[in-house]
Amino acid sequence: METSELLKKVRKIEIKSRGLTNQIFAGEYHSAFKGRGMAFSEVREYQYGDDIRNIDWNVSARFNDPYVKIFEEERELTVMLLIDVSGSSHFGTQKMFKNELIAEIAAVLSFSSIQNNDKVGVIFFSDKVEKFIPPKKGRSHILRIIREIIELQPESNKTNIAEALRYLTNAVKKRCTAFVLSDFNDFGDLPSDIKFEEALRIAGNKHDLGAIKIFDPREVELPNVGLLEAVDAETGEVIWVDTSSAAVRKTYNQWWSDAQNSLATAFAKARVDWVSVATNEDYVKPLIKLFKHR
Of the candidates 31, 63, 30, the residue with the CA atom closest to the CA atom of residue 44: 63
Hey, what's the torsion of the CAs at 219, 223, 225, 231, to 10 degrees? 10
CATH classification number, 3-31+77-292, choose in 3.40.50.410, 3.40.50.720, 1.20.120.350, 3.40.50.1370: 3.40.50.410
CA 139 from chain center: how many Å? 19
pLDDT tens track, the chain, 294 positions: 555 665 676 667 666 666 666 655 555 655 555 555 555 567 888 888 888 888 999 989 988 999 998 765 555 689 999 999 999 888 877 788 999 899 889 988 888 888 778 899 999 999 999 999 999 998 899 889 988 988 899 999 999 999 999 999 999 988 899 999 999 987 766 556 788 999 999 999 999 999 999 999 888 888 888 888 877 777 778 889 888 899 998 998 998 888 899 999 999 999 999 999 999 988 888 888 888 776
Q: Which helix (H) or strand (E) holds 114?
A: helix 98-115
Q: Going by DSSP bridges, is the β-strand pair 37-45/67-74 parallel, antiparallel, or unpaired?
A: antiparallel
Contact 215, 283 (CB under 8 A): no
The amino acid that residue 64 corresponds to is: N
Looking at the chain, the domain(s) classified CATH 3.40.50.410 span 3-31+77-292
